[in-house]
A and B are shown apart, each in its own frame.
Chain A
Amino acid sequence: MVTNITNLGRSGLSDWLLQRASAIVLALYSLFLVGYLLLNPGLDYATWSGLFAQTWMRIFSLLAFVSLAAHAWVGLWTVTTDYLKPTGIRVATQFIIILAIFVFLVWGIQVLWGA
């Protein structure tokens, strides 16, 4: 057993499962948005913001954002552990990635529920 403390689920299995589950959510969300855009060719701001005013859409979007955050972290964490061998650089990069993901997530929530 290789010990590590910086990956998301502390277990490779949970990371692996999360990666796949989040991928499904992201795929569904993307399909939904593409379908919506195709079915509404003359889309205007009112319709678009109307869609996001509905609670179910806000929850669905939040789920997609959280999935994206998890998916990105698992993926980028893997990349950093593959290619960044000096510990200092690796940890610093991981910190920056976490910070960015956190900012984007908070920003997303703010967009959904703010104003």
Chain B
Amino acid sequence: MSMLQVSLYRYNPETDTAPYMEEFQIDTQGRDIMVLDVLHMAKERDSSLAFRRSCREGVCGSDGMNMNGKNGLACITPLSEVVKKGKLTLRPLPGLPVIRDLVVDMGLFYKQYERIQPYLQNDTPAPAIERLQSPEDRDKLDGLYECILCACCSTSCPSFWWNPEKFVGPAGLLQAYRFLADSRDEATRERLAELEDPFSVFRCRGIMNCVAVCPKGLNPTRAIGKIREMLLANAT
């Protein structure tokens, strides 16, 4: 028996007036399982525990949560990486309204994603085959297109906490740059015009929490820097 002390954020809007922490003792049998496995064990004991999950391999972005103070994906975070002194505290992603337990309302996050027009814009009639793109141009999309919209970055960003309605946030800006960097996209000028106000991009203060937590190892801060460079080149 090797017991793990798990502290879970609980809130059911129908029965609870305020959120509270609930303690579970989980027997991991000494195995280095993933945090998501622990959640499944807890749910077998109390089926009312709510959390999102889908692919359980770190590509769908459903189970972003705050584990012992740091955002990440429960399904690819082994206990050895997060547990401190035999204790694991799980909370919902910070800064977004909680629907129930570990499930947050991601509406604001998605709204910021949609705002940057996350789709290729190219009005030139397409050829009968694909549009050509050199491997070098394609390489520019690496580290950008892999985003899984888990919101770990944006919800760890103080600038996003203070201005979630106005600051696009690291995830949205990473995608904004993904299209700015795409040699096939023709809307660069329009995209930049949408971003030059004092909030959308410039609220980034280079705190770099986004880089520290991204479960896919992406670097939104670098992308934001590139957007600033493009804005500057475009406007001076």
Whether B163 lies near A12 (C-beta < 8 A) is: no
Whether B162 lies near A2 (C-beta < 8 A) is: no
Contacts A1-B194, A2-B166 given: A13-B231 contact, CB under 8 Å? yes
B152 CB within 8 Å of chain A: no
- B145-178 CB mask vs A (1 if < 8 Å, else 0) is 0000000000000010011001000000000000
Whether A11 lies near B196 (C-beta < 8 A) is: yes
Chain B residues whose CB sits within 8 angstroms of the CB of A7 once the complex forms: 198
User: Bound complex: CA of A49 vs CA of B199, how far in Å?
Assistant: 44
User: Bound complex: CA of A83 vs CA of B159, how far in Å?
Assistant: 10
Whether B198 lies near A17 (C-beta < 8 A) is: no
A93 CB within 8 Å of chain B: no
**In the complex, what residue of chain B is closest to A11 when comparing beta carbons?**
B196
Whether B232 lies near A1 (C-beta < 8 A) is: no
Contacts A1-B193, A17-B232 given: A12-B162 contact, CB under 8 Å? no
Chain B residues whose CB sits within 8 angstroms of the CB of A2 once the complex forms: 166, 197-200
Count residues of chain B with CB under 8 A from any CB of chain A: 20
Q: Which of A4, A17, A78, A82 contacts B197 (CB 8 A)?
A: A4
User: Bound complex: CA of A4 vs CA of B199, how far in Å?
Assistant: 9
Whether B197 lies near A12 (C-beta < 8 A) is: yes
Report whether over half of chain A's contact residues are helix, strand or loop; otherwise say mixed. Answer: helix
Q: Which of A12, A15, A82 contacts B200 (CB 8 A)?
A: A12
Contacts A1-B194, A11-B196 given: A16-B202 contact, CB under 8 Å? yes
A3 CB within 8 Å of chain B: yes
- A1-41 CB mask vs B (1 if < 8 Å, else 0) is 11110010001110111000000000000000000000000
Whether A11 lies near B162 (C-beta < 8 A) is: no
User: Bound complex: CA of A73 vs CA of B207, how far in Å?
Assistant: 21
- B221-236 CB mask vs A (1 if < 8 Å, else 0) is 0000000100110011
Whether A81 lies near B200 (C-beta < 8 A) is: no
B65 CB within 8 Å of chain A: no
B201 CB within 8 Å of chain A: yes
Contacts A2-B166, A83-B162 given: A16-B228 contact, CB under 8 Å? yes
Beyond known contacts A1-B193, A11-B196, A81-B199: 20 more, CB 8 A cutoff = A1-B195, A1-B196, A1-B197, A2-B197, A2-B198, A2-B199, A4-B198, A11-B197, A11-B198, A12-B197, A12-B198, A12-B200, A12-B203, A13-B196, A13-B202, A13-B231, A16-B202, A16-B228, A78-B203, A83-B162
What 10 pairs between A and B have smallest CB-CB spacing?
Answer: A12-B202, A12-B198, A2-B199, A82-B162, A2-B166, A2-B197, A13-B196, A7-B198, A1-B194, A13-B231
